[in-house]
Amino acid sequence: MVLSVFVKVCGLRTQEDVKAAVAAGADAVGFVFTKSARKVDPAAVRPLLADVPDNVLTVGVFAGIPAADAARIAHEAEVQAVQLHGDYPRGAFEEFDGLPFRLLRATTLTEDTDVTVGAYGEEMLLLDSPVAGSGERWDLSVLARSAPAGKWLLAGGLSPANVAAAIETAKPWGVDVSSGVESARGVKDHELIRQFVSAAKAV
C-alpha cells in the first residue's frame, strides 16, 4: 500500500480557514504564535479547534521566542504539537521533556544541518527556505541526491502548481504550505487550499 503524503496547512487564522483545510483533507493545521502577518492569539485559537477532528494534528508554530514561553502558549491554545522554527538548540527541545506535546524541528538545510529525524528529540523534521513563511522557493536538488529518511516535511514556496513536482524531486514524507495558499499575505484562499491538498495527495 502506498501512503499519501502528509499535508500540513499553516498560518490559519479563522474558523473558515480551519474548516476549509479540514474539508480539503489536510493532516495537520498550523497556527503561528510569533511575529508574522499570520500571528494569532492563543485564546482565539482554542474555539477554532472545535472544527478539527481527532485525526488532524493541531500545531503551534514558534520562532525567536524562548521554549518555555512556547510551551506556555501551546498549553493555552490547546494545540497538540509544537513547531520550533529556526535556530533552536537541542536544549530547547529538551525543555519539552515530560510535556504533552508532539514536536517538529523546523530548520533551513545547510551543510551543518543534522537531518536525522529525532536528532533533537523531535518526532518530525521540517526543512524550509531560509526565510520562514516567505513563500520563497529554494534549491531542492540537494534533496534529490540525499534526502533525510523518515518523518520529514518539505516547506518553502510550495503551491498547488508546484507541489507535485517538489514531491517527485525531494520525496518528503510530508509537505507544509502557507504563502502558496493565500490571496494576500496572511489571508487564506480556500480554493487554493483545496487545490494544494488535492495536488499533494494525488502524487
Catalytic residue list: 10, 128
Per-residue binding letters, 165-184, with ligand LGQLAAA5 (x by CB under 6 A): -----------xxxxx----
- In the set 85, 105, 188, 201, which binds ligand LGQLAAA5 (CB under 6 A)? 85
**Strands, DSSP E only, in 36-114?**
57-62, 81-85, 102-108
Residue 114 and residue 21: Cα distance in Å, rounded? 31
Contact letters (x/-) for ligand LGQLAAA5, 18-37, by CB under 6 A?
A: ------------x-x-x-x-
Q: Is 135 in the site for ligand LGQLAAA5 (CB under 6 A)?
A: yes
Take residue 15 and report the three cell numbers written for it: 474558523
Strands of the chain, DSSP E: 6-9, 28-32, 57-62, 81-85, 102-108, 124-128, 152-154, 174-177, 182-184, 187-188
157 binds ligand LGQLAAA5 (CB under 6 A): yes
Closest CA to 82 of 130, 131, 156, 28: 28
60 binds ligand LGQLAAA5 (CB under 6 A): no
Query: If we measure between CA atoms, which residue out of 61, 54, 72, 58 comes closest to residue 17?
Result: 58
What distance in Å separates the CA atoms of residue 93 and residue 85, rounded to the nearest whole number? 11
**Stretch in the footprint of ligand LGQLAAA5 (CB under 6 A) among 43-51, 66-74, 123-131, 189-197:** 123-131
| Sole window of 49-57, 94-102, 125-133, 188-196 interacting with ligand LGQLAAA5 (rule: CB under 6 A) | 125-133
Q: Is 109 in the site for ligand LGQLAAA5 (CB under 6 A)?
A: no
**Separation of first and last alpha carbons in the chain:** 14
Residues that bind ligand LGQLAAA5 (CB under 6 A): 10-11, 30, 32, 34, 36, 38, 61, 63, 83, 85, 106, 126, 128-129, 132-135, 155-158, 176-180
